[in-house]
Amino acid sequence: MKSWFSLLVIGVLLVACTGVPGNETVVSGTFLKPGAKLVLYSVNTKQPIAVDSAYIEEAGNFEFKLRLTQSSFFLLHYSPQKEIILLLEPGETVSLSISDKEHWLNYTVHDSEGTSLVKVLADSLNNTISLLDSVRKSYQLKGAVSANPDSVRGEFMDSTRQIIQQHRNFTRSFVVEHKGSLASIVALNQQYDQRTFVLNSKEDFKYYRMADSVLFTKYPTLDLVKILHQNVTNFLEQQKLKADVSKMPTVGSVAMDFVLPTPAGDSIRLSSLRGKYVLLDFWASWCPPCRKDNPGIVNVYSKYKAFGFEILQVSLDKNRTSWLKAIQDDKLTWKHGGDMKFWDSPVARSYGITRIPANFLIDSRGVIVAVDLSVEDLDRMLAPLVTQDKKTDKN
């Protein structure tokens, strides 16, 4: 069985909230193993740091005295299977009574609310792991003598899912009830093993966000809380990015409108070209493939501009002089817009531009009908589309 400390470290449980400087915290207790050495570790970043040690007295007593300036997570360690996580506050006098000589699963806590809450979580997790192990063994025996092992396997999976869901529901409720306690971060990081978390960071995200909303307001400068807050922020940004990508223009969608400065110093709006077929082309003076395509685009423009075809080139340049010179050198007589913001151009971002050249062919209704056309494909598409549009206008 994984020790609670190793699971906690994997979850990156660090130092927590501020308190009165220099308050003495006392951790005392009984463990009936005279002469045994106990080590107290501070759980700070990714590795525990030994801060003190003590030998158990003949009567079974032990004691640690600490000067804490802030609430902190500690590990009371005897062996890999005998560890207790402590959430200590400055000035606390904590008493532990350890009656389990084998695995330290049975112990009592007095006068430490944080450590008591962590124990509630540890008890629930350990009980769940034990129950899962018991169910597994039971169904192994049942399956060995059953005439229908597939049925037994199905029953085992159903029982396992039910047990896991019960503990998941318990953990969710714990976070809701104790979202203002640092112990809630322990709950968010519980694991059955190195690869299996109790909570799912995606499906149970609202509980991470719930704890973050309280703890970051309460303790905005604390490392542990800042880590949680950063994880929540990163997840929200990823979700926003996915949502933005799903909204990006594609074939069949209406092209998003925008306004950009023109070479002449005024502005141009994409929707002002509504009623024409428009090639929205993203390019830059510094882009060799773009410059190579320009002569072919010039030919297509000359061929179809009389039939209601227009081009709006959006520049990803950052140097206005280079932009204007390229327009003149390549003899680009159509519409142009550019904010000289390079890849940070809001228009380029809204269209999901990550490389150039890139283009969108937009019909007279403002609907995108093709993307990333070569010069040859553009020519082939415009012939029937523009002809049909012309017939429709005549009717």
- Report the alpha-carbon distance of residue 102 to residue 134 in Å, rounded: 19
pLDDT in tens, the chain (395 residues): 343 333 343 333 333 333 334 578 999 999 878 888 999 998 855 678 899 999 999 988 999 999 888 888 898 998 877 788 899 988 999 999 887 666 566 788 998 999 999 999 999 999 999 999 988 888 777 766 666 777 778 888 889 999 999 999 999 999 999 999 999 999 999 999 888 899 998 899 999 999 999 999 987 877 788 889 999 999 888 877 666 666 678 889 999 999 999 999 999 999 999 999 999 999 999 999 999 999 999 999 999 998 889 999 999 999 999 999 999 999 999 999 999 999 999 999 889 898 999 999 999 999 999 999 999 999 998 987 656 655 555 55
Q: Are residues 351 and 271 in the same domain?
A: yes
Residue 227 structure tokens: 């880590």
Backbone φ and ψ of 272, nearest 5°: -70, -15
Q: Which of 283, 349, 347, 289 is nearest to 317 (CA)?
A: 283
- Residue 394's pLDDT is 55
DSSP 110-129: ES-HHHHHHHHHHHHHHHHH
Residue 22 structure tokens: 């220099």
Domain count, the chain: 3
Q: Are residues 288 and 352 in the same domain?
A: yes
Q: Are residues 14 and 74 in the same domain?
A: yes
Q: Tell me whether residue 52 is in a domain.
A: yes
pTM to 2 decimal places = 0.59
Residue 60 structure tokens: 């079974």
- Report the alpha-carbon distance of residue 183 to residue 319 in Å, rounded: 54
Q: Are residues 183 and 292 in the same domain?
A: no
Tell me the β-bridge partners of 50: 41
Residue 164 structure tokens: 């896991």
- Residue 365's pLDDT is 93
> Which CB contacts under 8 angstroms, 24+ apart, belong to 128-131?
128/163, 128/164, 128/166, 128/167, 128/192, 129/1, 129/192, 131/163
Task: With beta carbons less than 8 A apart as the criterion, state whether 216 and 150 touch.
Answer: no
Q: Are residues 180 and 288 in the same domain?
A: no
Q: Which of 88, 80, 99 is nearest to 16 (CA)?
A: 88
- Report the alpha-carbon distance of residue 77 to residue 52 in Å, rounded: 11
Tell me the β-bridge partners of 94: 27
3-state SS class at 160:
helix
- Report the alpha-carbon distance of residue 190 to residue 211 in Å, rounded: 15
- CA 235, distance to chain mean position in Å, is 3
Amino acid at 150: D
Q: Are residues 285 and 226 in the same domain?
A: no
Q: Are residues 387 and 285 in the same domain?
A: yes
- Residue 10's pLDDT is 35
Q: Tell me whether residue 254 is in a domain.
A: no
- CA 358, distance to chain mean position in Å, is 30
Q: pLDDT (tens digit, 9 = 90+) per residue, 25-44?
A: 999 999 878 888 999 998 85
- Residue 248's pLDDT is 74
Domain containing residue 280: 259-394
Q: Are residues 85 and 154 in the same domain?
A: no
Burial (Cβ within 10 Å: 0-12, 13-18, ≥19) of residue 132: middle
Q: Are residues 129 and 107 in the same domain?
A: no
- Report the alpha-carbon distance of residue 167 to residue 232 in Å, rounded: 23
**CATH code: domain of residue 264:** 3.40.30.10
Contacts of 167 (CB under 8 A, 6+ apart): 124, 125, 128, 198
Q: Tell me whether residue 195 is in a domain.
A: yes
- Residue 316's pLDDT is 97
Q: Are residues 369 and 276 in the same domain?
A: yes
- Report the alpha-carbon distance of residue 391 to residue 136 in Å, rounded: 74
Q: Tell me whether residue 274 is in a domain.
A: yes
Q: Tell me whether residue 264 is in a domain.
A: yes
Backbone φ and ψ of 270, nearest 5°: -55, -45
Q: pLDDT (tens digit, 9 = 90+) per residue, 347-384?
A: 998 898 989 999 999 999 999 999 999 999 999 989 87
- Residue 138's pLDDT is 82
Q: Are residues 390 and 273 in the same domain?
A: yes
Q: Tell me whether residue 347 is in a domain.
A: yes
